[in-house]
Amino acid sequence: MPLCSYLAATLGWPSIFYCFGTVGLIWCTIWMMVVKDSPQEDPRITDSELKYITESLKDVETNKPAKIPWKSFVTSMPVWAITVSHFSENWGFYTMLTQLPKYMKSKIYLCLYTELLKFLDTEYYA
């Protein structure tokens, strides 16, 4: 959060999205270069590790698609309870997240950037 308020105060609010979007793209690129679909495609795996993995998975059937019990999911009360509570929590959280800075600035006259500078100037952070 301090980084976001600093970016918003110095470079404008869109810089927050550009900054974290760039970090996400860099992470995705690294992930795509490092992670492989199977142990056979991974150049960093040793022959003994590959042999152990393939021998361990000989008895596992992977050709048979798993049946998904959709009716049980849709009629399950715990699933609906989690869905409703998750939706409600997200609605409240994002409403507060987007409206709180405006409220703090207009009603209680609190500037997030100056508060960030005060925080960074404390002995705790120094």
Distances in Å between the alpha carbon of 54 and those of 39, 63, 119? 9, 16, 54
Residues 4-50: tens digit of each pLDDT: 888 988 898 899 999 999 999 999 999 999 999 988 999 999 999 99
Residues 52-73: tens digit of each pLDDT: 998 888 877 667 777 899 999 9
Q: Where are the alpha helices (DSSP H) in 37-76?
A: 47-56, 70-74
d(CA 102, CA 100): 5
Whether residue 81 has pLDDT greater than 70: yes
Domain positions in the chain are 1-58, 76-126
Residue in 71, 51, 52, 54 with CA at minimum distance from that of residue 62: 54
Q: Find tokens 């992930």 and name the residue.
A: 31
d(CA 11, CA 3): 11
